[in-house]
């Protein structure tokens, strides 16, 4: 498969795709695996969240996969700060030829999170672009595939 990999909601026109993408956000199908039990894997619909610093998963998913807790941290969400567990997980995104062992966070207590948010600890492996007018989003393997180069001061 070639790069960039372009995704978007099912809509017959750019206007329909734009509306669907604006309302539900960019989604990808991912596999989440317990790295200590290869047979304990589940497929979920993940939301790509450029505002999230990490990969966040639901408590239900932690329990379902029997993920091993490796630490404790704080999870800051809009208007709230929650204690959260850090868990070992393998994340597989077949559409991007991606498979990595990564830490994921799950809020402790009653806070309800989406099944999985793919934050910047996932996005740091790609160049991600959001095409609002077309209602699509794309993943690139390097900045050279993504468009013009930028110079940054050091």
Position with higher pLDDT, 106 vs 148: 106
At residue 86, the 3 state secondary structure works out as: strand
- Note the pLDDT tens digit of each residue in 45-96: 999 999 999 999 999 999 999 999 999 999 887 777 889 999 999 999 999 9
Domain boundaries in the chain? 27-145
Please return the burial class of 35, using the count of CB atoms within 10 Å of its CB with bins 0-12, 13-18 and 19+. Answer: middle
pTM, entire model: 0.85
**pLDDT for residue 150 is more than 50:** no
pLDDT at 152: 40
One of 2.40.70.10, 3.40.109.10, 3.40.640.10, 3.30.70.920 is the CATH number of 27-145, namely: 2.40.70.10
- Residues 104-117, mean pLDDT to the nearest whole number: 79
Give the up-direction half-sphere exposure of residue 71: CA atoms within 13 A in the CB hemisphere: 9
Q: Measured on CA atoms in the order 13, 15, 19, 25, is the torsion positive or negative?
A: positive
Task: Assign 123 a pLDDT band (cuts: 50, 70, 90).
Answer: very high
At residue 135, the 3 state secondary structure works out as: coil
> Do 134 and 8 touch, CB atoms closer than 8 A?
yes
**pLDDT for residue 110 is more than 90:** no
């Amino acid at each position: 498969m070639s790069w960039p990999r372009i995704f978007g909601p099912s809509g017959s026109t750019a206007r329909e795709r734009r509306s669907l993408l604006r309302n539900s956000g960019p989604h990808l199908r991912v596999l989440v695996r317990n790295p200590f039990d290869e047979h304990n894997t589940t497929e979920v619909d993940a939301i790509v969240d450029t505002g999230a610093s990490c990969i966040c998963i639901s408590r239900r998913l932690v329990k379902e996969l029997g993920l091993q807790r490796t630490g404790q941290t704080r999870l800051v969400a809009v208007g709230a700060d929650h204690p959260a567990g850090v868990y070992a997980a393998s994340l597989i995104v077949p559409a991007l030829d991606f498979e990595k062992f990564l830490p994921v966070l799950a809020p402790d207590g009653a806070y309800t999170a989406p099944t999985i948010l793919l934050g910047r600890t996932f996005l740091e492996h790609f160049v991600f672009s959001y095409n609002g007018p077309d209602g699509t989003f794309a993943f690139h393997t390097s900045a050279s595939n993504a468009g013009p180069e930028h110079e940054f001061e050091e």
